[in-house]
């Protein structure tokens, strides 16, 4: 599996994403991965590699730039708060990562740029939803236990991607009121959307190391069925079935 750092910029911010792909793969779809609030870490790169093994060329987005990444000692919301209050900026950053993925794949002659999707985790879930909200030209976005509300809701007709939200019904970080917000937003936007909510499941359920109930906790069954639906929906979106 090939793992390459890719530099790109958004405004004055210099970013460093990671492209992960099987050099023997042919005509594989492109999948943008937006990581959790910790950003580009070895753990996130390993997650990108696991996704690439499912048959994608994966690009791990850098939302902070190498100089601005968290150390892990910060409180997540203290670190993310300024970005969350600047939805236009976070939207610009995820769109820049999306463009960098396409450019990097084309430059290397890998992947099929006509089939593009995105998946995000926690803060990354909100990032890929923002990508869809912005009207980006991709087939599907999947939010895994993501933040769901935004200060810049999608305009009617803007969302081109099929939207899947895989969520814990008991997630205190993005509770039912936030799911209601997203449902209302997607209806008004005329989007094609699905929310899959697992009862008794909290935040960060795809992370095997998450063990802080009732805030966050790994769930094997939510991960298994959530990923199954995610990969199936992405494949169907590429095939024009949904």
pLDDT in the model for residue 79: 83
pLDDT in the model for residue 4: 98
pLDDT in the model for residue 148: 97
Higher pLDDT, 223 or 24: 223
| pLDDT mean over 180-199 | 98
Q: Which of 73-87, 103-117, 118-132 has the lowest mean pLDDT?
A: 73-87
- In this predicted model, what pLDDT tens digit does every residue of 43-67 receive, in sequence order? 999 999 999 999 999 999 999 999 9
Q: Which of 60-64, 71-75, 134-138, 156-160 has the lowest mean pLDDT?
A: 71-75
pLDDT in the model for residue 72: 80
Give the burial class of 197: count Cβ atoms within 10 A of its Cβ; 0-12 exposed, 13-18 middle, 19 or more buried.
middle
Give the burial class of 138: count Cβ atoms within 10 A of its Cβ; 0-12 exposed, 13-18 middle, 19 or more buried.
buried
Question: How sure is the predictor about 76, in pLDDT bands with cuts at 50, 70 and 90?
Answer: confident
On the question of pLDDT at 28 being above 90, the answer is yes
- Sketch out the chain's domains with CATH numbers: 2-238 (3.40.50.1820)
The structure tokens listed for 238 are: 């590429």
């Amino acid at each position: 599996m090939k793992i390459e750092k890719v530099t790109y910029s958004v405004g004055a911010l210099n970013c460093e994403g990671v492209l992960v792909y099987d050099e023997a793969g042919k005509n594989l779809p492109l999948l943008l991965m937006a990581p959790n609030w910790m950003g580009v870490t070895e753990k996130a790169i390993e997650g990108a590699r696991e996704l690439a093994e499912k048959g994608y060329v994966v690009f791990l987005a850098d939302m902070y730039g190498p100089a601005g990444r968290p150390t892990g000692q910060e409180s997540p919301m203290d670190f993310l708060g300024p970005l969350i209050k600047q939805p236009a900026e976070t939207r610009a950053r995820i769109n820049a990562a999306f463009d960098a993925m396409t450019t990097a794949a084309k430059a290397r002659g890998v992947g099929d740029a006509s089939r593009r999707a995105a998946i995000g985790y926690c803060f990354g879930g909100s990032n890929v939803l923002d990508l869809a909200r912005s009207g980006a030209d991709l087939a599907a976005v999947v939010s895994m236990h993501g933040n769901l509300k935004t200060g810049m809701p999608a305009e009617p007709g803007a969302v081109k991607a099929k939207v899947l939200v895989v969520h814990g019904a008991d997630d205190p970080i993005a509770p039912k009121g936030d799911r209601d917000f997203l449902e209302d937003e997607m209806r008004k936007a005329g989007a094609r959307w699905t929310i899959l909510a697992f009862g008794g499941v909290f935040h960060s359920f795809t992370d095997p190391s998450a063990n802080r109930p009732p805030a966050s906790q790994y769930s094997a069954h939510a991960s298994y069925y959530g990923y199954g639906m995610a990969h199936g929906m992405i494949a169907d979106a590429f095939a024009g079935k949904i």
